[in-house]
Amino acid sequence: MPRTETLTEQLGQWRAWLARLDLPSAPLLLPGRSRAEIEAALGPGIPDAVVEWFACCDGVADAPGQTVDEAYTMPWYWHASLDEALAVKAAHSGGDDPLLAGAWLPLLVCCGTDLYAAVWTDGAEPAVAAVLPEAGPAAIEFDSIAQLAAVVNACFANGAFHRDAAGHLDLDDDRYEQAYQAVVGRPVPG
């Protein structure tokens, strides 16, 4: 049976894809934070996968003259820093959204209100919800943070995520659906 890659390994592959495609975000990825810093910011009971996410990468640096496209680590989204994630969560009302009524934290954000967030209950592995306020309540898109990373890496491998003519990260919808179904075992939600 093949060895399952750790989340840290999968996140390292994601970073390697950005560099391999010479995407503008690759050199702007910030080093991760220490477990102690993450736990001090988030408090007790944070799932290991959330700690591991921010230990691998603490967001994307701002560069002079940078456009939002140059921050993307997947089409239309970038890795939130721990501070950015906390600020986005504090600013997000959550409203009556049942997935955002409990423990959650943004992982990937965009220039609007859309984001991908880890959502969890005590002792459970966090799932990843797509939070698209204009489209309705948040929905689980990935069963785990590791599954999100595996889908992203599969999308880079099959060309679903690719560098466009302008040098920015772009998406091929059909290939995304193929990669998602191959990794997750079900069609893309929605």
At 115-139, the pLDDT tens digits run 999 999 987 899 999 998 878 888 9
Nearest to 23 by CA among 188, 171, 167, 170: 167
Would you say the C-alpha torsion 50, 175, 181, 132 has a positive or negative sign? positive
Please state the pTM of the whole predicted model: 0.94
Determine the average pLDDT of the residues in 178-185. 97
How distant, in Å, are the alpha carbons of 28, 131, 155 from that of 105?
A: 22, 11, 24
Residue type, 67: T
Angle between helix 7-20 and 48-56 (nearest 10): 30
pLDDT in tens, 31-66: 999 999 999 999 988 999 999 999 999 999 998 899
Report for 10-14, 118-122, 165-169: range of highest mean pLDDT: 10-14
Query: What gap in Å lies between CA 103 and CA 101, rounded to an integer?
Result: 7
Nearest to 52 by CA among 123, 121, 165, 149: 149
